[in-house]
């Protein structure tokens, strides 16, 4: 069961969380314009390890007990394995296809959160993820290109390892502040990346001033700050809602590409951006809760209306629908025996009134015959 803080997070929490995908969205532009070409693993290692060591030196706190292996595992999932897999996808798949496949991450997060946290995503949030996925496709997909098995493994592998890492952050509440938790993960992930980069790419390349500035930006903003903000959201919001915020990443990347580099931005991209933003918004707890309540109310009014005789008007039901009254359950709860219990609530009373009117209309129409109850009939005075 979600805590109150995660069920109704503040707008500030959502905005802080959105800093992460906004920062990640600058990665494509910074990498292409400033970093050494064809050295993605070196870039990933430099992005993670120095930032982690600086944060660790600032906080001066090491893991204890089981948190040695937990921090290591989280660092490998969120950093050490995720970065190589995402670069594998980028190098072996068309860029738009890689981004679209990675946009399936919210669905993976919701599935794992349900399995490991018993966190129900809800119909609205799943639909929001599908809408967002379609929006990313319109936003970034271009002409089809060649696909490879390695690229598909990288794309889906990056989705799975990051989704598992995010969910495990929620499953294992850290005994330290978020900055310390991020430092542990960046160091663990960076230590895994360094030997992989040396083995695959060889010695480090020369780094000029623009490249150094790019690495500072990606390390400080695109990694350290971004992951602190991301985990801030994960510890306070449902995992599915946080993962949907991540869809802002390609929105920022596409916008920067169009504004700074002059990449094509047409009708399809505009529609895709609207769909992504709509999916992100619909998946947030306050909005998805209202949408779910509205859907429940519509279905409940339809169910009650079906109990009425054909052609019989029902002013109370029509008025409830016109006012947007949630007659779908406010004030009604189920006990352990799945029996309804009335609690104070205007919507609950309105629902009972609607059902009473429906029953009365069916009795008047002769569809329901009430049994005679002599014990309830008061004798008439003679």
Model pLDDT for residues 283-313, shown as the tens digit of each residue? 676 555 555 555 555 555 555 555 555 555 5
Rounded to two decimals, the pTM is 0.70
Lowest mean pLDDT among 90-99, 120-129, 294-303: 294-303
Closest CA to 45 of 17, 6, 75: 75
Which range has highest mean pLDDT (18-32, 58-72, 261-275)? 58-72
Higher pLDDT, 108 or 333: 108
On whether the CB atoms of residues 285 and 238 are closer than 8 A, the answer is: yes
Q: What is the DSSP string of 8-34?
A: S--HHHHHHHHHHHHHHTTHHHHHHHH
Assign 30 a pLDDT band (cuts: 50, 70, 90).
confident
Which range has highest mean pLDDT (83-97, 146-160, 303-317)? 146-160
126 vs 309: CA distance, rounded Å = 36
Lowest mean pLDDT among 235-239, 340-344, 365-369: 340-344
On whether the CB atoms of residues 345 and 379 are closer than 8 A, the answer is: no
**Residue 341's pLDDT is what?**
37
**Residue 335's pLDDT is what?**
33
Assign 361 a pLDDT band (cuts: 50, 70, 90).
low
Assign 96 a pLDDT band (cuts: 50, 70, 90).
low
pLDDT tens, 191-231? 999 999 999 999 999 899 999 999 999 999 999 999 999 99
Assign 366 a pLDDT band (cuts: 50, 70, 90).
low
What are the strands, taking DSSP E only, across the chain?
A: 332-334, 340-342
64 vs 67: CA distance, rounded Å = 5
With 50 as the cut, is the pLDDT of residue 330 above it?
no
**Residue 5's pLDDT is what?**
40
SS3 category, 103: coil
- Average pLDDT of the segment spanning 57-64: 94
Please state, rounded to an integer, the average pLDDT across all residues of the chain.
76
On whether the CB atoms of residues 256 and 26 are closer than 8 A, the answer is: yes
């Amino acid at each position: 069961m979600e805590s109150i803080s995660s069920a109704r997070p503040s707008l500030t929490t959502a905005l802080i969380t959105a800093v992460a995908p906004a920062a990640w969205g600058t990665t494509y532009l910074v990498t292409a314009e400033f970093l050494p070409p064809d050295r993605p693993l070196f870039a990933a290692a430099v992005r993670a390890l120095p930032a982690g060591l600086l944060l660790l030196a600032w906080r001066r706190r090491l893991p204890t007990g089981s948190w040695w292996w937990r921090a290591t595992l989280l660092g490998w999932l969120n950093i050490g394995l995720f970065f190589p897999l995402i670069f594998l996808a980028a190098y072996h798949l068309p860029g738009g296809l890689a981004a679209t496949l990675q946009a399936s991450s919210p669905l993976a997060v919701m599935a794992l959160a349900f399995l490991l946290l018993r966190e129900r995503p809800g119909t609205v949030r799943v639909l929001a993820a599908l809408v967002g996925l379609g929006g990313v496709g319109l936003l970034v997909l271009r002409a089809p290109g060649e696909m490879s098995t390695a690229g598909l493994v990288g794309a889906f592998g990056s989705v799975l390892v990051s989704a598992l890492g995010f969910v495990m952050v929620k499953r294992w509440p850290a005994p330290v502040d978020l900055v310390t938790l991020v430092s542990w993960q960046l160091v663990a992930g960076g230590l895994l990346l360094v030997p992989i980069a040396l083995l695959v790419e060889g010695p480090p390349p020369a780094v000029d001033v623009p490249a150094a500035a790019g690495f500072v930006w990606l390390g400080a903003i695109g990694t350290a700050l971004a992951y602190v903000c991301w985990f801030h959201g994960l510890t306070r919001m449902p995992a599915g809602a946080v993962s949907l915020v991540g869809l802002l990443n390609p929105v920022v990347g596409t916008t920067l590409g169009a504004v700074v580099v002059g990449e094509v931005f047409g009708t399809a991209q505009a529609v895709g951006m609207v769909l992504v933003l709509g999916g992100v918004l619909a998946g947030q707890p306050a909005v998805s809760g209202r949408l779910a309540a509205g859907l429940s109310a519509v279905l409940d009014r339809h169910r009650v209306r079906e109990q009425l005789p054909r052609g019989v008007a029902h002013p109370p039901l029509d008025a409830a629908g016109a006012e947007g009254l949630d007659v779908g359950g406010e004030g009604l709860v189920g006990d352990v025996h799945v029996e309804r219990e009335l609690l104070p609530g205007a919507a609950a009373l309105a629902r009972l009134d609607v059902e009473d009117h429906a029953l009365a209309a069916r009795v008047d129409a002769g569809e329901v015959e009430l049994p005679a109850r002599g014990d309830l009939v008061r004798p008439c005075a003679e």
